[in-house]
Structure 1
Amino acid sequence: MSNRIDSHQHFWKFDPVRDSWIDETMAVIQRDFLPEDLQPLLKENQFEGCVAVQASQSEEETHFLIDLASKNDFIKGIVGWVDLRNANIEERLRHFSAYKKVKGFRHVVQGEADDFMFGAAFRNGIKALKEFDFTYDILIFHRQLPAAISLVNDFPEQKFVIDHIAKPDIKSGDIDSWKKNIEEIAKYDNVWCKISGMVTEADWKNWKPADLKPYLDVIFANFSADKLMYGSDWPVLNVASDYNEVVKTLEDYISKYSVEDQNKIWFENANLFYNLID
C-alpha cells in the first residue's frame, strides 16, 4: 500500500472561551488533542503524515502549529491563520514564509457574512498569497459557494482547496443547489477539494455510508481523482464517528477506482497541492 497523507486535521489545548464553538453537544471533543493522540491513529491506518489546519483565528495559533510541527516530523504541513485583511499583509506573509512547513492559510469564512469574500481588504490578502506561493483553504457553508466561485474566478493563479466539500446539508438530504454550485466551481483549474468533514454534516448518531454516497458521487464526477484529497477532520469527526470508520468509509467507496487513482486521493494530490514532501 502506498503512503497516505491526512490533508486536514486539527490540534488544540482546549480553552472553553476561545473554543466556544465546541459546545455541549460536542462534549466528546472538549479536551486537548495533540500530536501524541493522533500519531497512533495515523500509523494504524498507514498514514505517513498529516497537514495541521488552524482551528482558531490568531497568529498565536499559527505559531502553536509551527512549534508542534518542529517537534513532530509526521506533521508535514501547516495551514495557518493570518489576518488577510491587514494592511501589512505582505509583511506578515514574509514573516511566515521563513517557516518551511507553513504551506497556506485559512479563514473561518463559514462564521462570516455571506458577502465576506467580496470585501476589498480580504481580496487584497488573497492577492498577496501568490507571491509567497501560499495556498488558501476555503471553509464555507454551501450557501456561500456563489461567493467562492467569484473569488476563484478573480484569482486564477491562486491555488484554492474547498474544505469539507463546502458543507452540504447531508443530514436533510438536500443536494440540488449545492450540486449546481459544485459543478460550477469544479470547472476552475485552480480549485481542489477535500473529502473531509462529511460525517459531521450528516446525522451524527444515525448516519450510514449510503447517506454520504450521493455527495461523494457529485464531487468525484466533477473534481475527478486528480483534484480530490482525503482529510479526516480529526478530532472534530469524533462527534459523529471515529478515525478508523471515516477512513474505512472512503476506502470502501474508492475500492472500484484504479490503484493510481486511489494513490492520488490518499497521497499524491495533497502532496502536490501543499508541496509537502521534498
Structure 2
Amino acid sequence: MIIDAHQHFWQFDPVRDAWITEEMQTIRKDFLPEDLKPVLEKNGVDGCVAVQADQSETETDFLLQLANENDFIKGVVGWADLRGADIKSRLEHYSKFPLLKGFRHIVQGEPDKNFLLRDDFGNGIKALAEYDFTYDILVYPHQLPAVGEFVKKFHEQPLVIDHLAKPDFETGELKSWEQHIRNIARYKNVYCKLSGMVTEADLQNWEYEDFVPFLEVALEAFGPDRLMFGSDWPVCLLAAEYEEVIGIVRQFVGKLSASEQTQIMGGNAAEFYKLK
C-alpha cells in the first residue's frame, strides 16, 4: 500500500490562514478531499494522512469529519494545546476517535528556539504516551539542537520529523543540519518524512539533484525502515505538481530493494501511525 504520510485540507480563510500570503495565490483557495482523491488515484497512491495546518481543536474536528467521510484518509494528525493544564482530559476525549493518530504543534513558528523543552509542553508530550498518540516535529534547522535534547528526553515516544527539518536546499548548506540529523536519528523512536522539499528550494528552478545529498544523509541516518514519503500537498503546488513531488522520492528510492521501497512509500507510515 502506498501512503502519502503528509498532506493538508482547508477551507481558505484569509484571517485564520494568514500564513498563506498574497504571493501564494496558487494555494489561496479551498483544498478538500474531492480535490485530492483523483490526484492520488492518478499517482497510484492508496491513502493519506491529513495533518493539521491550523492550531485549533476546530481544525482537528474538521479533519476527523473529513476522514470519517472519505476512506482514503487513513489517519489524522491533529492539534490540541499540549501546554494546557487540561491536556489529559482533551486527550481522553480524542482517544475515542480511532482515526486520530497523533498531534502536532507548529514549533517552527515559535520565537523561542527551545520551545520543545518547555516544562508545560513536556507535560503534554508525556501525556501522549498514555493514549498511544504520536507526535510530529515541525521545526527549522536552527531549532535542531533543541530537537536533539527533546528526542533524548522522550526516547520512548513515537516521534517523526516533518520535512527533514526544512534544510536549505537552495544553498545546499549541509554540514550543521547533517550533524544534528545524525545525532537525532540515533534514537530509534524517531522517524523522518521525505516531504516538504520543493518549497524549501528555489521554487521556480529546483532540480532533483538539489535534494539528493540531503536524502542520502537521511537514508544513511534513519535507514529505510524509518523514512516515509509525504507530499505536503497542497503547499507543494507553490513549486511543483504532485507527480513531480512523488517522482523525487520514487527516483531516489529506486536504487533500493523492492521491500525497502515499499517501506518508504507506505509501509513505515502504516506502522508508525497504526493505519488500517
Place the TM-score, normalised by the shorter chain, in its bin: over 0.9
1:130 alignment partner in structure 2:
129
Q: Which amino acid aligns with 1:250?
A: V
User: Which aligned runs of 4 or more in structure 1 are off by greater than 4 angstroms?
Assistant: none
> Residues of 2 paired with 1:269 and 1:196: CA distance?
14
Q: 1:219-238, aligned counterparts within 5 Å?
A: 219-238=218-237
Asked if 1:243 corresponds to 2:242, the answer is yes
C-alpha deviation, 1:25, in angstroms: 2.1
> Residues of 2 paired with 1:195 and 1:224: CA distance?
12
> Residues of 2 paired with 1:94 and 1:53: CA distance?
20
> Residues of 2 paired with 1:254 and 1:261: CA distance?
8
2:52 alignment partner in structure 1:
54
Asked if 1:27 corresponds to 2:12, the answer is no
Q: Which amino acid aligns with 2:224?
A: A
2:141 alignment partner in structure 1:
142
1:79 alignment partner in structure 2:
77
C-alpha deviation, 1:7, in angstroms: 0.3
C-alpha deviation, 1:228, in angstroms: 0.1
2:259 alignment partner in structure 1:
260
> Residues of 2 paired with 1:150 and 1:183: CA distance?
13
Instruction: State the TM-score, normalizing by the size of structure 1.
Output: 0.98
> Residues of 2 paired with 1:74 and 1:121: CA distance?
35
Render the CA deviation track for 1:101-149: whole Å, top value 9, x for unaligned: 0000000000002011111100000000000000000000011111111
Q: Which amino acid aligns with 2:86?
A: N
Render the CA deviation track for 1:50-75: whole Å, top value 9, x for unaligned: 00000000000000001101100000
> Residues of 2 paired with 1:25 and 1:178: CA distance?
28
Q: Which amino acid aligns with 2:166?
A: K
> Residues of 1 paired with 2:248 and 2:126: CA distance?
37
Superposed CA RMSD: 0.6
1:11 alignment partner in structure 2:
9
Render the CA deviation track for 1:80-117: whole Å, top value 9, x for unaligned: 00000000100000100100000000000000020111
> Residues of 2 paired with 1:249 and 1:120: CA distance?
39
> Residues of 2 paired with 1:189 and 1:224: CA distance?
10
Asked if 1:45 corresponds to 2:54, the answer is no
Partner residue of 1:93 out of 91, 94, 102: 91
Q: Which amino acid aligns with 1:6?
A: D
Instruction: State the TM-score, normalizing by the size of structure 2.
Output: 0.99
Aligned to 2:160, the other structure's residue is in SS state strand
Partner residue of 2:64 out of 42, 47, 66: 66
- The alignment-based identity, stated in percent, is 55
